Structure 1
């Protein structure tokens, strides 16, 4: 699939929308409407440009924010899981550990170094 210059600009807009609204679950259909790109081109182009799927990028944004909150606040892991958009603390902890190889609690306790 060939991406035109305007497609690339719209895909970058999608990334910006995800980054700025990481607390809210923006669906791929929402992004498709807001960028005026069809879903297939948006998903293909995002992966081509950024080397990661839209869903994986969204997860990485949430985990980065969670890491920041663990390091800079006294909020509980449960509070942080909700703040970054997880309904289940278990799902949040599992994903955090998958990405950082440490549980959120281990990370907070300084075991990430």
Structure 2
């Protein structure tokens, strides 16, 4: 059994025990793997620690209950593995930027984390040469299922993402030739939405299992050289500094050469613009 298969077994365990207090010791014991090895394999595969993944999944399910059920907040707190309503409310607000009461009143659900799914197509992922810029093509409507599948895998990087609204935007960008995709067989391993007019990157996602392959750099080279030729600066938005919901996206942008710019609020969520100047 390879590391990926072990990680998926751990994820299945987490998913069936979301209503309990979860920790690495318990999950390692239940799945019969060493704690150290499971932690290392899980973090490398998913891009989150087991603690981060479990917490985000539990809060996502709690948010769903707040919007789609009549359960009391204290009951939802207990169902989410928290020992008290206060502990739950503190963590919920840190991640969602709203109290549980406010989230329920706003009546708009979005997840922090969806179940990490790779079942059924892991054999198609070869980890081979991802090619070069020319391998990145315009997405078509036939690519939408694989595009959405990847979006769900990387949703931790995109607070407030509403899938129905996102799908409308995706179809518009496909029609306008502002949606790029990199695939291996039928699996999307890199996707980007951009605006030629504003020089902004609206969405950029890379398959977690390909994060070390330089795919983000390929996409940036593609848009700089083909779509942003007349731009001196391009922009992208991400989490603000200190946001507990950030799983490392700010740091990744800085490593790529982006610099902090103005603070924004998008769809009611506090974000920050990052800019990159042409070299």
Counterpart residue number, 2:42? 46
CA distance in 2, matches of 1:49, 1:14: 12
Q: Give 1:43 deviation, angstroms.
A: 0.4
2:52 paired with 1:56: yes
Q: Give 1:38 deviation, angstroms.
A: 1.1
Gaps of at least 5 residues in structure 2 are 109-266, 268-279
- Alignment equivalent of 2:81, drawn from 74, 82, 85: 85
Gaps of at least 5 residues in structure 1 are none
Conservation of the 8 A alpha-carbon contact between 1:7 and 1:37: no
Q: When you count helix as a share of all residues, which structure comes out higher?
A: 1
What TM-score comes out, normalization by structure 1 length?
0.85
Counterpart residue number, 2:27? 31
Counterpart residue number, 2:11? 15
Q: What SS does structure 2 have at the residue aligned with 1:102?
A: coil
CA distance in 2, matches of 1:56, 1:6: 22
Q: When you count strand as a share of all residues, which structure comes out higher?
A: 2
How many equivalent residue pairs?
A: 109
CA distance in 2, matches of 1:25, 1:91: 13
Conservation of the 8 A alpha-carbon contact between 2:62 and 2:80: yes
- Alignment equivalent of 1:106, drawn from 95, 102, 110: 102
Looking at CA atoms only, which structure, 1 or 2, has the larger radius of gyration?
A: 2
Q: Give 1:26 deviation, angstroms.
A: 4.1
Q: Give 1:19 deviation, angstroms.
A: 1.2
Evaluate the alpha carbon distance shift between residue 101 and residue 26 of structure 1 in structure 2; reply closer, same or farther with a 3 A threshold.
Answer: closer
Q: What SS does structure 2 have at the residue aligned with 1:85?
A: coil
